[in-house]
């Protein structure tokens, strides 16, 4: 399982050591996600999505049980459910994670 070092974890979130570069735009990111997403996963690799850019697109990374990015891909095709429940959850998530952004370049 993942070797979580104290300096990598902040508020229950882990920042993986390696960067991952979006195939669509070339922007590099440090992957940051809840520790529990990796440690409590039902199966591996874990899929993690980073939405970004203008026009918006997704950088999808696949993370193994050791917290290593094992693959990635980009998607220009994104569908967001336009219900009030989804919007409220996006706003709540955005507010909770406002300081989580870890951009490399």
The pTM for the full model equals 0.79
β 57-63/28-34 pair status: unpaired
Helix (H) or strand (E) holding 52: strand 46-52
Half-sphere exposure of 33 (CA within 13 A, CB side): 21
Percent of the chain with pLDDT over 70: 84
User: In this predicted model, which residue has the larger pLDDT, 96 or 74?
Assistant: 74
pLDDT in tens, 11-39: 778 888 778 999 999 999 988 888 889 99
Find out whether 19 and 104 touch, Cβ atoms under 8 Å: yes
Q: Quick one: pLDDT band at residue 8, thresholds 50, 70, 90?
A: low
Q: Where exactly are the structural domains of the chain?
A: 6-96
């Amino acid at each position: 399982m993942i070797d979580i070092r104290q300096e990598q974890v902040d508020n229950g979130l882990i920042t993986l050591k390696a960067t991952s570069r979006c195939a669509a735009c070339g922007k590099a990111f440090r992957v940051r996600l809840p520790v529990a997403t990796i440690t409590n996963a039902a199966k591996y690799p874990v899929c993690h999505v980073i939405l970004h850019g203008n026009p918006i697109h997704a950088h999808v990374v696949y993370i193994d049980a050791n917290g290593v990015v094992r693959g990635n891909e980009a998607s220009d095709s994104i569908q967001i459910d336009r219900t009030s429940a989804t919007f409220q959850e996006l706003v709540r998530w955005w507010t909770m994670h406002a300081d989580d952004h870890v951009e490399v370049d």
